[in-house]
Structure 1
Amino acid sequence: MMKGVDSSLDTLPKIGAPATRALNNAGYTVLGDLAGVPRAELAKLHGMGPRALGIVQSALEQHNLSLG
């Protein structure tokens, strides 16, 4: 399991404050909200970097889900 990955769909994984704020500001408040969202769309959010995207993807994969 990757460090920082939370396996719950009801919370966001631990990705750092800037990335968490970026997701919250875009309306994503729980991991389940991110299933199917295009990776490129999330990458455009200020504060969402490659590390945060990787953690989100890994967390989704624990539920057999993925970014779009």
Structure 2
Amino acid sequence: MTEESDFPKSIGRPATNALVAAGYTELNQLVGVPAKDLKKLHGMGPKALGILQAALTERGQRLG
């Protein structure tokens, strides 16, 4: 993908690509999005979801 995102690099390329393909390009866009919806994205696994939640928690935010 050529689009830039601010997702943690540690979630991996497949998870990053899945998020970008779904229209998410910034971490703050995931605030309130249900984890069960993100799990449906091809390439998004429990490890990536945990990393995303941890990154949001650092900002005082969370998944839905």
- How does the TM-score come out when normalised to structure 2? 0.88
Judging by fraction of residues, say which structure has more helix. 2
> What secondary structure does 1:61 align onto?
helix
Amino acid of the structure 1 residue aligned with 2:63: L
Aligned residues: 59
Unaligned runs of 5+ in 2: none
1:48 to 17, 40, 44: 44
Distance 1:28 1:46 in 2: 14
SS in 1 for 2:62: coil
The 4+ residue runs of structure 1 with deviation greater than 4 A are: none
Unaligned runs of 5+ in 1: 1-9
TM-score by length of 1: 0.83
Secondary structure of the structure 1 residue equivalent to 2:29 = helix
CA positional deviation for 1:13: 1.1
Aligned residue number for residue 61 of structure 2: 65
Matched AA of 1:57: Q
Alignment identity in percent?
59
User: How large is the RMSD of aligned CA atoms in angstroms?
Assistant: 1.0
